[in-house]
């Protein structure tokens, strides 16, 4: 093994937007910006425009399942992609999804001699339980998932809580905590620019503004927010709440807000793609409400901190790692009553919220530049350990299958190359014949 190029793999990538695709985008950008060569391997998407990226994006065949599950499911056994990647000087594979991307990486590793790192980003047991009804089937999917993860050379978790979740589903190996960064720079927009970018909503001057940014899914703690705000209204406490984002539960969330009689105080912006507009909302808000126990890293908490905005988090959640109550954030129990009590106490104390927000900026913020620089240094250690034969993975029943599939894909790739060469040779002969006839 002598390569140095980083091959990043993930099942989702723009135009599909989620926290993990955002991580891959920034990994690729920062690695190339720092002088390393990196490229992305991801499923085809009919709406993709990869020309906007300053690095190569290699697409492989996929099945469009966006209407049912919101993603494009890739076929990880692609001989054409293998033929392309064999020409690369790959030093390490880095998968950001334990499904198709890691399956593909394992097949590639069987042919291209390079180590495989996998980052565990999210609590897949929750996603699987939502997608699969039968407990027996859920257990089978989780078992296959853990087998796939365990076959990697090194596992990274985006937080200690993510690592503990990984252990809870049956993974018994080691992991390294490698937190993600954010692409919102440290800054506060001018008041004039902030008001310009957040115009169009009934937000009276002096009224406390609360903000949530993320997918509108009930498991993000959205009911806690709405019920707490209902309690504030019953106490005649005025406020405005902004939900930024979209998601599968968005229609239900909006209906629930309406049923609680909060439509005049709670507004939905839809997904916010423009980073300056997002920064403007962080600057416009007085508190960021994120009562989620689902998220493993809470990147939006660091985004808020970039704009000196303090977050309200569930005590003991992954998003609350590193947060000390009333110092660099606010911690509550996982209930609407706990959130309502906190908001009632502090929503008029803007000096406290600003002070806690500034400390959050100083202590919680992590840029992608710093995050990826740390990962890049670890790549070097992983490649050295791999070259020295220090990774002793336990044997898995699927290992032989992946070795055989890798060999088979390699043969198919060689056959494709031979066929192309023969076709080129035939075309050249035909051209010469036409020239002399």
Asked if residue 105 lies in contact with residue 95, where contact means CB atoms within 8 angstroms, the answer is yes
5-181+370-421 CATH: 3.40.50.2000
Query: Residue 429 has what pLDDT?
Result: 45
Task: For residue 193, give Cα distances in angstroms to 130, 309, 361.
Answer: 41, 17, 21
Query: Residue 375 has what pLDDT?
Result: 98
Backbone angles phi, psi at 344, to 5 degrees: -60, -35
pLDDT tens digits, one per residue of 255-299 = 999 999 999 999 999 999 899 999 999 999 999 999 999 888 888
pLDDT tens digits, one per residue of 108-127 = 898 899 999 999 998 766 66
- Per the model's pLDDT, the better-predicted residue between 26 and 18 turns out to be 26
Query: Residue 84 has what pLDDT?
Result: 86
Q: Which residues pair with 287 in a beta bridge?
A: 210
d(CA 159, CA 178): 7
pLDDT tens digits, one per residue of 224-247 = 999 999 999 999 999 999 999 988
Coil, helix or strand for 125? helix
Domains 5-181+370-421 and 191-363 share a fold: yes
For the chain, give every domain's residue range. Answer: 5-181+370-421, 191-363
Q: Report residue 421 as tokens.
A: 């060469």
- The alpha helices in 285-367, defined as continuous H runs, are 299-306, 336-346, 350-364
d(CA 165, CA 162): 5
Confidence band, pLDDT 50/70/90 cuts, at residue 431? low
pLDDT tens digits, one per residue of 39-95 = 999 999 888 999 999 999 999 887 766 555 555 666 777 777 887 888 899 999 999
Query: Residue 416 has what pLDDT?
Result: 44
What is the third-level CATH fold of 191-363?
Rossmann fold (3.40.50)
DSSP letter for each residue of 131-154:
H---HHHHHHHHHHHHHHHHTSSE
Label residues 392-420 b or e (16+ Cβ within 10 Å = b). Answer: eeeeeeeeeebeebbebbbebbeeeeeee
Q: Which of 105-109, 176-180, 285-289, 351-355 has the lowest mean pLDDT?
A: 105-109
Q: Is the pLDDT reported for residue 203 higher than 80? A: yes
Query: Residue 404 has what pLDDT?
Result: 47
Q: Report residue 329 as tokens.
A: 């954030």
């Amino acid at each position: 093994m002598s390569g140095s190029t980083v091959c990043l793999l993930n099942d989702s990538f723009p135009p599909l937007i989620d926290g993990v695709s955002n991580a891959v985008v920034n990994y690729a950008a920062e690695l190339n910006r720092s002088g390393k060569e990196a490229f992305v391997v991801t499923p085809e998407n009919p709406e993709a425009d990869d020309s906007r990226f300053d690095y190569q994006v290699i697409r492989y065949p996929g099945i469009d399942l966006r209407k049912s599950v919101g993603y494009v499911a890739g076929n990880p056994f692609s001989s054409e992609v293998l033929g392309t990647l064999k020409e690369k000087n790959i030093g390490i594979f880095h998968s950001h999804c334990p499904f198709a991307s890691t399956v593909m990486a394992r097949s590639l590793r069987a042919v291209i001699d390079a180590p495989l790192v996998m980052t565990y980003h999210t609590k897949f047991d929750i996603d699987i339980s939502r997608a699969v009804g039968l407990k027996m089937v859920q257990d089978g999917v989780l078992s296959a998932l853990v087998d796939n993860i365990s076959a990697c050379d090194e596992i990274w978790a985006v937080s200690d809580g993510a690592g503990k979740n990984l252990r809870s589903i049956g993974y018994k190996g080691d992991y390294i905590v490698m937190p993600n960064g954010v692409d919102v720079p440290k800054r506060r927009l001018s008041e004039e620019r902030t008001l310009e970018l957040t115009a169009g909503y009934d937000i009276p001057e002096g009224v406390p503004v609360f903000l949530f940014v993320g997918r509108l899914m009930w498991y993000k703690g959205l009911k806690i927010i709405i019920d707490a705000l209902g309690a504030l209204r019953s106490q005649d406490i005025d406020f405005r709440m902004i939900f930024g984002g979209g998601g599968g539960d968005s229609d239900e969330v909006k209906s629930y807000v309406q049923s609680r009689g909060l439509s005049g105080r709670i507004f939905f912006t839809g997904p916010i793609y423009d980073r300056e507009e997002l920064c403007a909302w962080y600057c416009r808000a007085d508190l960021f409400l994120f009562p989620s126990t689902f998220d493993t890293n809470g990147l939006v908490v660091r985004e808020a901190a970039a704009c000196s905005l303090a977050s309200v988090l569930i005590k003991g959640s992954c998003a609350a790692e590193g947060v000390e109550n009333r110092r660099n954030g606010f911690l509550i129990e996982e209930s609407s009553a706990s959130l309502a009590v906190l908001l009632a106490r502090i929503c008029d104390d803007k000096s406290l919220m600003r002070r806690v927000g500034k400390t959050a900026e100083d202590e919680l913020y992590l840029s992608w530049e710093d995050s990826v620089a740390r990962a890049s240094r670890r790549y070097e250690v992983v490649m050295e350990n791999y070259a020295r034969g220090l990774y002793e993975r336990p044997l898995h029943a699927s290992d032989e299958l992946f070795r055989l599939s890798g060999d088979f894909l390699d043969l198919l790739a060689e056959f494709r190359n031979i066929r192309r060469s023969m076709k080129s040779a035939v075309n050249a002969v035909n051209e010469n014949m036409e020239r002399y006839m």
